[in-house]
Chain A
Amino acid sequence: MTERAAVEGLRSPAQGLCAQGLTLAAARATLVRGAAFHLRSGELVALLGPNGAGKTSLLRGAIGLMPRVSGWARIDGQDTDRMAPRHRARRLAYLPQNRPLAWPNPVRDVVALGRFSHGAALGRLRGADRQAVERALAACDLERLAGRSTATLSGGELARVHCARAFAAEAPLLIADEPVAELDPHHQFRVMDLIRDFVDQGGGALAVLHDVALARRYADRLIWMKDGRIVADGPPAETLSASRLAEIYAVRGRVEGDRVEMEGPL
C-alpha cells in the first residue's frame, strides 16, 4: 500500500504535502521507518494507529519540526526542512496534540495568532488579517465568545478555538494531531464537521484519530500505522476490516458496511 502512495506521489509531485522514505529517530529509538504518504487538497485523510505507532513523529517529521534520518518531505515541491517556518505556515496549518495556552488571552487574540505568518500583530489587525479572523470565528461559531478569556472556556469551546486558529491561517493544508481527543461525542462531531467543511471548500486535511468509527464516517482515506511503519493507505472501504483492527490495535472488532464495532481485546 505504501507503493500506491509512492506512485500517486510521483504522479503529481508538486501538489500538496508529499513524503517519501521518511525515517525518523529520537535518542536511539527509530520512531518512523521508511514512511511514504501524500496529502492533497480536497481530501480528508485519517491517520490511525495505536499509541506509540509513530503518528505524531510522522507528522512532525513531514513538516520539518523534527530532524530526519533519511527520506524527504515536500510541500508543493519544496522541501519542508528547508522552508522558512513562516513560508511553511502559510501553506500548512498545524494543530499539535498538546495545545497549552500560557495566558488567559481573549478568544479573538488566540485565533488571530493563526495569522502570525502573515505578519499580523495582536491588537492591530488590519484588512485581510482581520477578515480571515472574523471568518474563522464565524465558521467555528465563536462570534459570541470572541471577547471572552480562554481561561473561562469549556473543553469543547477550546477545541473550536484551536480549530479557528488553524483555519484563520487560510492555508490550503491542515494537519491536526488528535483534534477530538478528550471531547464529548457532540463536540467530536462538531470538530469533525468543521474539518469536513474546510475540506469541502477545497482544503486538504490530515487528522490523527483514535475513533475508527469517526474516521470511517468522515475520512476519504485512511492511513494505518503500526510500529513506526505505514502498513496500509486507502479508502475506508478497501482498508478497514476486522482483520485490520486485529492487526493494528489487537482488538476483536466487527465491520459491517458503515458500522464499526469493537468487541474486546485480543
Chain B
Amino acid sequence: MRIAFAALILACAAALFAACLLGSTPMGADRVLAALALGGDHGDRLVVLHIRLPRALAAFAVGAALGASGAALQGLLRNPLAGPGVLGISAMASLGATGALYYGFAALSAWAMPAAAIMGAFAGTGLVALAALRTTSVVTLILIGVGLSSFAAAAMNLMMNLAPNPFSLADMINWMLGSVANRSLQDLGFAAPFLIAGLGILLASRRGLSALTLGEEAASGVGLNLRRQRLAIVIGAGLATGAAVALAGVIGFVGIVAPHIVRPMVDHDPARSLLPSALLAGLILVLADIGVRLMPTASELKLGVVAALVGAPAFVWIAMRRRSVHD
C-alpha cells in the first residue's frame, strides 16, 4: 500500500515533467530542466514556464479537486456512483461561470469567474445535500443531479441563444467544452485559494467518512457529528469542484473513475481513498492532456470532450457491475 502510494506520487511527478517535455517545439530533458530551474534560454523558459507548466499544473489541480470531491461525495452518500458530475454540481458550477462570461463579469475581475463557479457549485451541492437529508436513496439523488444538470444546460443554452455577438458565443462554447489550454500561472493563482481550502476541508474531515460506512444512524452512534460532517463535505466539495470548473470548464467522470480504481487498494475505506484518488485523478488528467496535445488532429481536441468519451463508458460499466442491494 505504502509502495503503491509512493509509486503514485512518482508517477504524478513523472507525468508533470513529461508534460513539460513534450510539445510542438522539440526540447531535450536538459533544456526543460534548465528552464524549470529558472535558467537556460529565454525562449525555452517562455515555453516551459509560461505555456507547458501552467497547463500541466492546471490539469493536475483540476483532476485532484475532482478526484477528492468524488471520493468524498461517494463516502458521504455511501455510493460508488456519486461524484461532482453525476450529482449536477459541475453543471451548476459551469452555469455560474457561463453566467460570469455572459454578463461580462469575467472581464471585470479575475476573481469573478472562480467566485461565480463556486456559487454555482454551492447551489448544486446544497440542493443535493438538502435532498440527502430527506432520502437515503442514491437513485433519487442522482435523478436530482440529472435535473440540475438539465436545468444548468438549458440555462447555458439560453445564454448562448441570447449571446450578444459571435465572439462571446465562441467564448462560452470554448469554455464549456472543458480544457486547460492556454491557462496561465495567474489563472491558477485565482483558483488556488478555493481549491486549497476545499481540499483542506475534505482532508480534514475525511475520518468521518469511515464512520459513515456503518450508515448514518450507527455513525452518529459511534460519535460522528452528522450535521457537521455533511456540511464539511458539501462545502469542501463545492469549493474544490467550483475551483476546478472555473479553471477548466466541465471535465466529467474522472471524479468517479479515480476513486473506483483506488478503493480496493485501501480496503474500501473512504477516508484512506481521498488522497490517492486526488493524485490518481490528477495523473489521469495530466496524461490525457498530453494525449490531447500530441494527437495529430486538425484542431486540438478538448480535454473535457476526451474525458467524457472515455469516462462515460467507464461510468456505465461501474453502474452495470453494481449489485443493487444497497438502494
Contacts and interface: CB of A to CB of B under 8 A. Distances in A.
Interface string B262-276: 010011111110000
Contacts of B270: 103
Contact of B214 (A63, A110, A149): A110
Given A86-B225, A102-B326, A65 B217 contact: yes
A65 B225 contact: no
A104 B211 CA distance: 14
Contacts of B267: 105-106, 109, 122-123
Contacts of B40: none
B217 A96 contact: yes
Contact of B222 (A63, A65, A117, A149): A117
B106 to A, nearest CB: 40
B269 A105 contact: yes
Interface in B224-280: 224-226, 263, 266-272
A122 B210 contact: yes
A103 B260 CA distance: 12
B223 A122 contact: no
A114 interface: yes
A89 B226 CA distance: 13
Contacts of B222: 89, 93-94, 113-114, 116-117, 165, 169
B213 interface: yes
A101 interface: yes
Contacts of B272: 122-123
B221 interface: yes
Nearest to B207: A121
A28 interface: no
Interface string B65-86: 0000000000000110000000
Interface residues of B, number: 27
A94 B218 CA distance: 7
Contacts, number: 95
A90 interface: yes
Interface residues of A, number: 34
A108 B185 CA distance: 46
B212 interface: yes
A100 B70 CA distance: 21
A84 interface: yes
Interface string B187-228: 000000000000000000001001111110110111111100
A100 B269 contact: no
Nearest to B214: A113
A65 B220 contact: yes
B268 A103 contact: yes
B254 to A, nearest CB: 21
Most buried by A among B78, B268, B272: B268
A169 B222 CA distance: 8
Nearest to B264: A104
Nearest to A147: B267
Interface of A: 63, 65, 84-90, 93-96, 98-106, 109-110, 113-114, 116-117, 121-123, 149, 165, 169
Closest 5 CB pairs of A and B: A89-B223, A117-B223, A102-B78, A94-B221, A103-B268
14 contacts: A85-B223, A89-B221, A90-B223, A93-B222, A94-B222, A96-B217, A100-B78, A100-B326, A101-B215, A103-B213, A105-B213, A106-B267, A113-B222, A121-B271
Given A103-B268, A117-B223, A123-B266, 4 more contacts: A94-B221, A102-B215, A105-B267, A122-B271
